[in-house]
Amino acid sequence: MAKRACALHILVKTEAECLALKKQLAGGADFHKLAKKHSTCPSGKRGGDLGEFKKGDMVGSVDKAVFSGPELTIQGPVKSRFGYHLIKVLYRN
């Protein structure tokens, strides 16, 4: 089982905003640009890059999505106490 992962995410306040961004991504929009423009997380300034982190470092629902969902696929909306996330796992090891 993977113990480390690297992922990107976009955090927004509403599920509707999250779904609208997911639709833009499905249409070919650039993840990094959308994260910089819309994400309320400090990682948005880095295009949503969370870097590499250990299992258990992220809030529960995000951690579960990162370590059990598909790689290189946009997941979400994933709800947490911070809002709604779109997550793209780059790799796990």
pLDDT surpassing 90 at residue 77: yes
Other beta carbons within 10 angstroms of residue 2's beta carbon come to 14
The confidence band for 74, taking pLDDT boundaries of 50, 70 and 90, is very high
Q: Is residue 67 within 8 Å of residue 3, measured between CB atoms?
A: no
11-63 confidence digits (pLDDT tens)? 999 999 999 999 999 999 999 999 999 999 999 999 999 999 999 999 999 99
pLDDT at residue number 11: 98
Q: What are the phi and psi torsion angles at 85 (to 5°)? A: -115, 145
Output the pTM of the full model.
Answer: 0.94
